[in-house]
Structure formats: structure tokens, C-alpha cells
Amino acid sequence: MPAGLSRFKESFPVSINMSILPVLSAAASSASGPPAWLQFLPIVGMGLVMWFLFLRPQMQQQKSHKAKLEALKKGDSVLTGGGFLAKVVKVDGEYVDLDLGPNLRVRALKSTITDVIPPAGGKPAND
């Protein structure tokens, strides 16, 4: 037996080891609790709650944002990620030319557009 192991055994009294073993074996043999799959139901339930409260609404929001970007056309007013309000001048695949003001045009990625602003002649929000 290695010297390190003998020192380890000597540091614990034998009476403690012998008194724990019967207790553990008795607890293991008398443990007739619920089935294992039933113990995982709360975890599965929490996963479903997280799905419906967090993940599903976020996926729907991403889907609607993607649809807005795909429907982007000339003349739409948009809000960029930098907080600029601009009017769309031209749409080219992944890029959009924006008019920020008199004599100020920029080219931006479609992905940097955070929202498409509805026209002013639309229906009021409180109706």
C-alpha cells in the first residue's frame, strides 16, 4: 500500500467509517420515492414557461422586424440604430441610401435600421 494512502486511512478513525456504511445502505434500500421522470417535471415546466414568456415573443419580434426590413421601399421614414430619423432614397440588397436632411445622404446597412416609422396620415395610436 502506498505511503500516502496509509496516512490517509490513519487520519480517519475506523469507527466513523463503520458507523456511516450501515446508515447509507439502509437509506438506499428503503428509498422508494417517485419515479425518476417525475422528478424532472418541474425542470421541464420551467423550460416551457421560459419558452412562452421569453423566447417565443422574442422570435416573433425578430420575425416582424425582418418582414419590415424586407418590405422597405423608397420614401419610407426609418429610425437607424444611431438614433437618426431618415427617409429611404434607394434600396440595394443589403444596403439602403438614406436622406438625413438637405444635402446629406448616407449609405447604411439594412440591419442597422431599427424601425420603420408609419406615415403621419395614419390612424392615431389611441383609437
1 in any annotated domain: no
Residues 44 and 66 in one domain: yes
**Residue 32 C-alpha from the chain's centroid:** 38
Q: What's the confidence (pLDDT) of residue 89?
A: 96
β-pair type (85-92, 95-101): antiparallel
Residue 50 lies in a domain: yes
Q: What is the pLDDT of residues 25-52, one digit of tens each?
A: 665 555 567 788 888 899 999 999 999 9
Domain containing 110: what range? 73-118
CA distance 31 to 59: 44
Whether the predicted model's global pTM rises above the 0.75 cut: no
Helices (H), the chain: 3-11, 14-29, 36-39, 41-50, 56-70
Looking at the structure, tell me whether residues 87 and 62 fall in a common domain.
Answer: no
Neighbours of 62 (CB within 10 A): 10
**In this structure, are 65 and 78 located in the same domain?**
no
pLDDT range class, residue 6, cuts 50, 70, 90: low
pLDDT at residue 38, as a whole number: 87
The tally of domains found in the chain comes to 2
Q: Does 11 fall in a domain?
A: no
Residue 17 lies in a domain: no
Residue 29: inside a domain, yes or no? no
* Structural domain includes residue 67: yes
80 in the same domain as 44: no
Q: Are residues 64 and 87 in the same domain?
A: no
- Let me know whether 85 and 50 are in one domain: no
Q: Is residue 48 part of a domain?
A: yes
Q: Considering the domain boundaries, does residue 12 fall inside one? A: no
